[in-house]
Structure 1
Amino acid sequence: MNSMLACIVVFLLSAAVGTGIWVRNSNRLRFRERGWALFILIIGTVFIMAQILRIPVSNPADWIAAIFSPVYRPIIKWIEKEV
């Protein structure tokens, strides 16, 4: 029961922050900034809710390593050959 209450609180707080972002940037026609801020807010909210509900989520550093490993592994091998 406590985890559901925590999820509701997190959702309400993120909705309040999202509304603030929307209102603040709508007057200035900053569509890109508003979109990226809301995207980051949604991703963070999903991660927090997953942590509250004890859903296993891998480390984001592992995701970054998986994406960039085809790029940096040949560079590391090239540097090690030079030394």
Structure 2
Amino acid sequence: MEISKYSYVILVGFFVWLTIAPRNSSPRFGELFLAYMVALLFSLVATSEIIMIKPVAFFFTVGGVLAFCYLVARKTIRVTIKNK
């Protein structure tokens, strides 16, 4: 399987999973993030079983994993500038 062949599917998966991700301003962010993480986990496990039959589904979920990593990095890394 060529990963470059499925790069568009990975990009679309990234944007779809990023769109359905919970927002930081939500009062129930923790609960929604846990549900998002579990849905992504189940999706990844299910699509890894059918990778030989439907590789598009697997690479769509790989885009979701990249979106998850982006969300965690965005939530974890903070840059602040202090004015004197």
Q: TM-score range by the shorter chain?
A: 0.3 to 0.5
Which structure dedicates a bigger proportion of its chain to helix?
Answer: 1
After TM superposition, the score normalised by the length of structure 1 is 0.38
Larger Rg: 1
After TM superposition, the score normalised by the length of structure 2 is 0.38
